[in-house]
Amino acid sequence: MHQDFDLIVIGGGSGGLAAAFRASSHGAKVAMLEPALLGGTCVNLGCVPKKAMWLAADMGLRLGVARTLGFPVPPMTLDWQAFVAHRQRYIANIHDSYRKRLDDAGIAWLPLRGTLRDAHTVECEDGVRLRARRLLIATGAHPRKPDIPGAELGGVSDDFFHWVAPPPRVALVGGGYIAVELAGVLQALGSQVDVFVRGHRLITSFDAELAGQLAEDYRQAGVRVHVDCKLTALKRVGGEDPGIRVHGDGAPEHHFDQVIFATGRRPNTASLGLDAAGVAVDELGYVVVDGRHATNVDSVFAVGDVTRDPALTPVAIAAARRLMDRLYGGRDEPLDRDHIPSVVFSHPPIGMVGLTEQAARERHGDAVSTVRASFRPMLHALADSPQRSLFKLVCVGAERRVVGIHLLGEAADEILQGFAVALKRGITLDDLHDTVAIHPTSAEEVVLMR
Ligand SMILES: Cc1cc2nc3c(=O)[nH]c(=O)nc-3n(C[C@H](O)[C@H](O)[C@H](O)COP(=O)(O)OP(=O)(O)OC[C@H]3O[C@@H](n4cnc5c(N)ncnc54)[C@H](O)[C@@H]3O)c2cc1C
Ligand SMILES: NC(=O)c1ccc[n+]([C@@H]2O[C@H](COP(=O)([O-])OP(=O)(O)OC[C@H]3O[C@@H](n4cnc5c(N)ncnc54)[C@H](O)[C@@H]3O)[C@@H](O)[C@H]2O)c1
């Protein structure tokens, strides 16, 4: 039967673009459907604008340190609108660069929503049907709000990126990546922030000890973290000081100008026509894939946030490239899911690769040992500010093989990447001790920890 393309990619975010470029570099004839802005969540409503806001917040905090250290910097607030103009110009350049790369690679970009009609056919929203030997689903995910009365009064992270000024009082609901990141940014840029956490602690996939220190750092910075807080409703408050009141166990009396739900995301699979193609999804709608990102239908594959893979841009990209190398490039290297480094861009940042102490103990019992370093980074010690760093290594066995690296503190985001390579290569604590330190840095603590 006639095929228009070798591959149709549905979604032009991190995973979809990486797949389209890699397949085309192997000689495949590729079409990509993306009705919204190129780059998807990461470029437009995620990593990139978030990191820009994090950089602004970081700069604001550093101005405070500079003042303490003797620079005659007057107290100042960010001209948020001016900063957003810089941020969006940076993002527009990314769009231009993607457009050019798609043209250069000869990839057909259709700015249209697509729906599967069968295992080889995609119908575009203008009614045109395209056929391909293979289809890739890379439609990502969307934020989800809890089902409580008044939920419509709260926004989600997408809304945050449309703000042009910091609201005076903000409530963040959730204790995961987004709640922690937005809390740090908003507090640093002038809001009073309250975080409502359903469980006992922040960022449960990270090491408990470091997450506890981060919660302490946030409290020192003025963020109010409410744990074990189950929200039951949001209600509008009128009068002279209008706002939104948060109701539930442990909720405070005061109200807020904005409430943001950062309570997880759900895959974009509703009305995608997956049943027409016979593609299996799980109970939450995620596309079910095997370790090589194949679905139960031979011609259909899926990568990124639409699957149960960790919802991180480099994971979507790595999965997409490996899959395309296998389908079109004659190479078969599945994604190593055990050594995925991850950073929460809090203030200060927290990063991890490998196992937490708890996960290591569940897997290796008494063979687990840990070493840690708690210290004040030099800049904060000079300014006599209370912010502390906490680094921790989790080791296994008599040879003390390093199975987890956990860093909280200034520059943790930048330090972790190189040590993630080392951990993947199977280093021991002695290998770290055998490495000459770079002094004076925070990074040297990783090779000096005893
Ligand atoms: C606030 C926030 C901050 C984040 N920060 C980080 C970070 O710092 N580091 C990190 O690694 N990750 C971060 N992430 C996660 C990261 O953004 C995602 O893991 C990544 O974007 C997933 O890529 P994807 O290709 O699977 O999906 P997406 O990037 O979401 O792309 C999916 C695309 O599919 C399109 N689409 C949907 N339905 C259809 C259809 N029917 N037809 C055609 N197209 C369709 C959508 O328009 C979208 O553009 C963040 C996420 C958020 C929300
Ligand atoms: N720096 C990064 O790499 C980065 C940054 C942001 C987002 N992300 C990715 O995006 C994903 C989504 O982020 P997220 O923060 O929305 O999800 P998350 O899974 O990290 O956190 C969700 C939080 O919401 C809480 N929650 C869920 N339902 C709730 C309810 N009904 N009431 C109260 N709390 C509830 C959970 O307990 C959890 O604390 C992350 O898991 C991560 O993979 C990555």
Of 248, 263, 278, the residue at which a domain comes to its end is 263
User: Does the pLDDT of residue 91 top 90, yes or no?
Assistant: yes
Query: Predicted confidence band at 297 (pLDDT cuts at 50, 70, 90)?
Result: very high
Catalytic residue status for 255: no
- Do residues 45 and 118 both lie within one domain? yes
For residue 128, is it within any domain?
A: yes
Answer yes or no: is 325 a known binding residue: no
In the structure, what pLDDT confidence band is assigned to residue 250 with cuts at 50, 70 and 90? Answer: confident
Nearest atom (ligand 2) to Cα of 342: 3
Report d(CA 25, CA 320) in Å as an integer: 13
| Residue 387 CB–ligand 1 contact under 6 Å | no
Mean pLDDT across 97-111: 98
Q: Domain check: are 45 and 12 in the same one? A: yes
- In this structure, the answer to whether residues 240 and 275 fall within a common structural domain is no
The response to whether 410 counts as a known ligand-binding position is no
Query: 33 with 16, same domain?
Result: yes
pLDDT attached to residue 76: 87
Residue whose C-alpha is closest to residue 399's, from 364, 372, 374: 364
Report which protein residue has its CA nearest ligand 2's atom 39: 175
The ipTM estimated for the assembled molecules is 0.99
Task: Determine whether the shortest distance from the Cβ of 49 to ligand 1 is under 6 A.
Answer: no
Residue pLDDT, tens place only, 363-383: 999 999 999 999 999 999 999
Structural domain includes residue 333? no
Q: Please indicate, yes or no, whether residues 290 and 306 belong to a single structural domain of this protein.
A: yes
Mean residue pLDDT across the chain: 97
307 within 8 A of 327, measured Cβ to Cβ = no
Q: What CATH number is attached to the domain comprising 442?
A: 3.30.390.30
Q: 80 and 12 in one domain?
A: yes
Q: Does pLDDT of 433 surpass 80? A: yes
Q: Is 114 annotated as a binding residue?
A: yes
Substitution candidate for ligand 2 out of 246, 263, 315 with most atoms within 8 A of CB? 263
Residues 19 and 134 occupy one common structural domain: yes
- Banded pLDDT at 1 (limits 50, 70, 90): low
Examine the domain organization and report whether 68 and 100 are in the same domain: yes
C-alpha 137 – ligand 1 centre gap (Å)? 12
Query: Are 237 and 274 in a shared domain?
Result: no
Q: Which atom of ligand 2 is nearest to the CA of 310?
A: 43
Whether residue 396 lies inside any domain: the answer is yes
Taking alpha carbons only, the member of 156, 162, 158 closest to residue 80 is 162
How much of the chain exceeds pLDDT 90, in percent?
96
Question: Is 335 domain-assigned?
Answer: no
Q: Are residues 85 and 119 in the same domain?
A: yes
Residue 426 lies in a domain: yes
Please state the rounded mean pLDDT for residues 190-200: 97
Question: Which tens digit of pLDDT belongs to each residue from 143-175?
Answer: 999 999 999 999 999 999 999 999 999 999 999
The helix-helix angle for 14-25 and 80-105 (nearest 10°) equals: 30
Give the distance (Å) from ligand 2 centre to CA of residue 7. 32
pLDDT at 251: 83
Residue 116 has pLDDT above 70, yes or no: yes
51 is in an annotated binding site: yes
* Closest listed ligand to the CA of 351: 2
Residues 37 and 171 occupy one common structural domain: no
Residue with tokens 């293979």: 134
The answer to whether residue 247 is domain-embedded is yes
Are 292 and 362 contained in the same domain?
Answer: no
Counting atoms of ligand 1 from 1, which one is nearest the CA of 17? 25
Nearest-atom index, ligand 2, CA of 311: 43
Whether pLDDT at 2 is above 80: no
Query: 131: exposed, middle or buried (C-beta count within 10 Å: 0-12, 13-18, 19+)?
Result: middle
**Is 234 within 8 Å of 154 (Cβ atoms)?**
yes
> Count of domains in the chain?
3
- What digits encode the pLDDT tens for the residues 300-327? 999 999 999 999 999 999 999 999 999 9
Q: Which of 209, 238, 263 is the last residue of a domain?
A: 263
334, part of any domain: no
Query: Confidence band (pLDDT; 50, 70, 90) for 75?
Result: confident
Q: 406: domain range?
A: 348-448
CATH number of the structural domain spanning residue 301 = 3.50.50.60
Work out the widest C-alpha separation in the chain, in whole angstroms. 75
Examine the fold and report which residue of 239, 263, 287 is the final residue of a domain before the chain moves on: 263
Name the residue at shortest CA distance from atom 49 of ligand 1: 40
* Rounded-to-integer distance, Cα 334 and Cα 316, Å: 13
Query: Does residue 338 lie within any of the structural domains?
Result: no
Ligand 2 atom 42, closest CA: 311
* CA dist list (Å): 295 to 21, 147, 287: 21, 31, 7
**Average pLDDT, stretch 352-366?**
97
